[in-house]
Amino acid sequence: MTNSPHTNARLIQVANGGNPPSEYPLPLQTPTLLGRDISCQVSFDPHIYRGVSRQHLEIRYIPPQHHEDEGTWQVTDLGSSNGTFVNGQQIKGSRSLQPNDHILLGTSGPELVFTCQGIPRPNESPSVKPPTIPSTLHLSQVVPILSTRNDLLKSGFLVPGMLTVLLVVGLFSSLGHPVLFNQFLGFYLALAAYFVVYRLSEKPKPWWILTGSAIFTIVMLASPVFGLFVLVFREILPGKIPGSDAELDVISTFIAYFFGAGLCEELLKALPVFILHWLGTQIKTPWKERIGVWDPLDGILIATASAVGFTLLETLGEYVPRTIESVTQESGQYAGELIGLQLLIPRILGSIIVHIAYSGYFGYFIGLSIMKPSKRWTFLAIGWLTSSVIHALWNTFASNLIGGALVGMISYAFLMAAILKARQLSPSIH
């Protein structure tokens, strides 16, 4: 923050995740914005303080109207989602601040104390003394986890770190068992790729909803429902997937993949999104908001979770085992296991990225159709067709180094753009 020569007030952040209190001087000439946007003068980590809006509140100095009067400091809530509280009372609009007032951003956000060494009169240069920080030794300082357990959970990095520990233990315990080793590694790589999407979206969604979406898609793939999809898109429609020895021109290959992979698989992966939206309309608040799909971010999170389940079954249940068996018959067990591991890593990472991209892009348009029901069918058609075209392009050119890399990067860029736009549109994120 730029420090004004007439600064005589500051904010002190308390309970700062076990760290020493942070101090933020308040300039007299310009207002101070607080929020999680990096453009704010006081910016909070969005991964830790999810309840803080992009531009949550403003603190400014109000000069006196008369020379003999003193000016005042004023805090203004900028329409935040979770409110601003001063000394435990939520404010509406603006209110004046007094020394030692406690300011809370949201019900569980960062807490700051306003300190002031006296309001200066015009042309008066104040003498600023730094606030005194208590030096008492507390048990929470000696055992930090006692005071930071809530921040640990909110930070979003505790669970991924613990899952990494479990992965390492699982990999060591599965040495000599290549199938189990591949499953541990495959699940972890898939979760790591999804974690990027989840954190970028900045919208919490219950883990059991996301896991359930992935499991639902796996069940659908193993059920007669998928057979019905195959009948429609690959038998009735011109979507028969070409074999490895098929000699088709690029256009014929693209058409086959457009119907047989794009339209077929993207609609299947979108089923959890449609079902959860319908389920959300049948229940009441707060479960309605937690479970249902109401905006593009909800659609992206559910659709990409579904894509993770699709890729895990396709890779660990089909491609890798089939390749291991084929190579083992020709070159022996060791060669088969080595090739299987070499295939697993690029197959999981590549498929996860592109499948997440297609599905997330379609999920964005599903959420958009829910927000704007007057154009529902237009948005659904655009999302389904666009994701299917990109899917078909990947399948057509994946074996070509330049073509595959280009389509993969375009797919990822489309998804990132959709997430950023969804964050702007989401009513729960300001």
Question: What is the CATH classification number for the domain harbouring 110?
Answer: 2.60.200.20
Q: How buried is 24 (Cβ within 10 angstroms: 0-12 exposed, 13-18 middle, 19+ buried)?
A: middle
Beta bridge partners of 57: 34, 77
Same domain, 111 and 205: no
Same domain, 271 and 320: yes
Number of helices (H) and strands (E), helices first, in the chain?
14, 11
* Contacts (Cβ under 8 Å, ≥6 apart) of 17: 48, 148, 151, 155
Same domain, 112 and 163: no
Determine, yes or no, domain membership for 125. no
* Residue found under tokens 């809006």: 53
Same domain, 65 and 209: no
Rounded CA-CA distance 23/11 in Å is 6
Element (H, E) at 61: strand 57-62
Same domain, 285 and 187: yes
Q: Phi/psi at 95 (nearest 5 deg)?
A: -155, 155
Determine, yes or no, domain membership for 139. no
Q: Which domain holds residue 285?
A: 156-425
Q: How many domains does the chain have?
A: 2
Residue 168, both tokens = 């390492």
Could you tell me the strand order of the sheet in which 84-86 lies? Answer: 22-26, 9-14, 111-116, 101-105, 84-86, 89-90
- Coil, strand or helix: which one is 157? coil
Q: Walk along the chain (430 residues) and give the pLDDT tens digit of each residue.
A: 334 444 578 999 886 555 667 889 999 889 999 998 888 999 988 878 888 888 999 999 988 877 666 788 999 999 888 889 998 889 988 999 999 899 999 887 889 999 987 555 444 444 444 545 555 556 656 666 665 555 566 556 777 788 888 888 887 887 777 778 778 888 888 888 888 888 888 888 888 999 999 999 999 999 999 999 999 999 999 988 877 656 678 899 999 999 999 999 999 999 999 999 999 999 987 788 889 999 999 999 999 999 999 988 887 777 666 766 777 777 777 666 666 666 667 666 676 778 889 999 999 999 999 999 999 999 999 999 999 999 999 989 877 878 888 988 999 899 999 999 998 887 665 5
Give the side-chain half-sphere CA count within 13 A for 202. Answer: 25
Same domain, 273 and 322: yes
* Contacts (Cβ under 8 Å, ≥6 apart) of 171: 181, 184, 185
Same domain, 374 and 420: yes
Same domain, 191 and 309: yes
* Contacts (Cβ under 8 Å, ≥6 apart) of 368: 296, 299, 379, 383, 425
Determine, yes or no, domain membership for 348. yes
Same domain, 405 and 273: yes
Determine, yes or no, domain membership for 141. no
Determine, yes or no, domain membership for 18. yes
For residue 176, which amino acid is it? Answer: G
